[in-house]
Amino acid sequence: MEKLMTNPQLRQMEIDMVSEIVEQCNSMKDAALAAKAIDSLEINQPNEEDVIRHLRNDLCDVTFKLFIEKYPTN
């Protein structure tokens, strides 16, 4: 079993890094990698349910934006 991260500063750094990965998505491939980063965060910090939910919602918004840009309905 993996040891959960206990240092609060390192925990926050991990959250910040995953958040930045989500914000920097420029393609569907980037979005897939961001999803894996969120999955990893969930494994390392399972008690951060609200943060993880927020990151997944942000990634969903980014993914829809990228999809609409790639496949416009006009």
What residue segments make up the domains of the chain, in order of their start?
A: 21-70
Sign of CA dihedral 13, 14, 15, 17: positive
What pLDDT does residue 3 have? 54
Give the pLDDT of residue 72.
87
- d(CA 32, CA 52) in angstroms, rounded, equals 16
Q: What is the pLDDT of residue 7?
A: 84
The long-range contacts involving 32-36, CB below 8 angstroms and separated by at least 24 positions, are 34/59, 34/62, 35/59
Query: Tell me, what's the pLDDT at 25?
Result: 96
pLDDT for 57: 98
Residues of the chain with pLDDT under 70: 1-5
